[in-house]
Amino acid sequence: MAIRTYIEAIREGMRDEMRRDPRVIVLGEDVGVKGGVFKATDGLHAEFGEMRVIDTPLAESAIVGVAIGAAINGLRPIAEIQFQDFILPAVDQIISEAAKIRYRSNNGFSVPMVVRAPFGGGVHGALYHSQSLEAMFCHIPGLKVVVPSTPQDAKGLLRAAIRDPDPVLFFEHKRCYRLIRGEVPDGEYTVPLGCAEVRREGRDIAVFTYGLMTHFCMEAAESLARDGFACEVVDLRSLRPLDRAAIVASARKCGKVLCVQEANLAVSVMSEVAAIVAEDCFEYLDAPVRRLGGPEVPGVPFSPPLEEAYMLNTTKIEAALRELAAY
């Protein structure tokens, strides 16, 4: 086992798959000589050359649309969108095209493509470098949506996403890039899509979360443990498909549920998680399902007090857990 940062694990995941499979290419803005604005593709251009690591024009629809065409013609493209906030010009290609190509061709064509994009706040990125837009993609059949929270998952899930036969949106929390370090197994491994991971076992409150919030939830759970409350923290990892069985098992076991996400709550991932709990765990619940998420404002403001007020943190999550514990 080696210790890696989250972004190192992502870079190694791409590098190892590119070594293993000549069909894998990377394309996006600044991914070539510069190695990406976050350095996620650092070194790939030098190792694999400009035929496989492609600096594209500054045009997101082209990045995804070209990746779709290349995937149809036998490659395994990894398209990098520099910030998830800028994915919107490519949404027609993602939703109208990539998501529907297998279905609309009656299995004649498929799009084995990964779209990587950093998301999330807490980095002074303001409205257009901080958003968490994953929910809009989770609504779409034909897409898969993945958000890793640890280096081990980042590498293993990315490798699984690259090998997946369908389009996968791989959203990386940019605050995790250098903040989160952890052990990464040696050798070739993958982490299957569609499986949640219990990060911490408990019997009192089931906490469902993903991304950076997983780490905040773990800290909050640690704090409650000192007072004798055992929280079970479930890292969803895969937002579409959701691991329904894992959600139901933890909710039934604990009887109380807190859903935590950075994004605002209206029509979000945690709307779906709460609905699953309501449908399948009603008789097991000892309290109403609680959700904690971002405020209903259009984006994360720049000024520090505003950004801090927007973002969840360990203290806010701990308060919600204590309230639920007391119910």
Partner 1 sequence: MAVMRPETSPGSDLDAELLLTMYRHMVRARVLDERMWVLNRQGRAPFVISCQGHEAAQVGMAMALRPGYDWIAPYYRDLALTLVLGMTPRDHLLALLARAADPNSGGRQMPAHYGYRPLNIITGGSPVATQVLHAAGAALASRVRGEDAVAYTSLGEGSTSEGDFHEGLNFAAVHQLPLICVVENNGFAISVPWSKQGHTKDVADRALGYGMPGVIVDGLDPVASYHAMTEAVARARRGEGPTLIEAKVARLTPHSSDDDDRPYKTREAVAEEKAQDCVLRFRRVLEQRGVLSPGDAEEVRAQCMREVDRAQEEAENSPLPSPESLHLHVYGDQ
Sign, CA torsion 23/11/127/211: positive
CB of 105 to partner 1, least distance (A): 4
CB of 203 to partner 1, least distance (A): 34
Number of other CB atoms surrounding residue 200 within 10 Å = 17
Annotation says 124 is catalytic: no
Cβ-based nearer residue to partner 1, 95 or 126: 95
The residues of the shown chain that bind partner 1, judged by CB under 8 A, are 25, 51-52, 54, 56-57, 59, 61-62, 64-75, 77, 89, 92-93, 96-97, 100-110, 141-142, 144, 164-166
Q: Which residues in the chain belong to E strands, given as ranges? A: 2-5, 24-28, 53-55, 76-80, 114-119, 144-146, 168-173, 181-184, 197-200, 205-209, 231-235, 238-240, 257-264, 290-294
Token pair of 13 as six digits? 């995941």
Cβ-based nearer residue to partner 1, 166 or 307: 166
Cβ-based nearer residue to partner 1, 104 or 203: 104
Cβ-based nearer residue to partner 1, 165 or 295: 165
252: which strand partners?
none
CB of 90 to partner 1, least distance (A): 10
At 29, give phi and psi (nearest 5°). -85, 125
Please name the residues in contact with 311: beta carbons below 8 A apart, sequence gap of 6 or more.
121, 122, 262, 294, 300
Distance CA 206, CA 234 (A): 7
Distance CA 297, CA 240 (A): 25
CB of 162 to partner 1, least distance (A): 14
Q: Scanning the structure block, which residue is given the tokens 């990060």?
A: 199
Cβ-based nearer residue to partner 1, 46 or 59: 59
**Choice among 45, 129, 173, 215 that is catalytic:** 129
CB of 147 to partner 1, least distance (A): 19
**Catalytic residue set:** 129
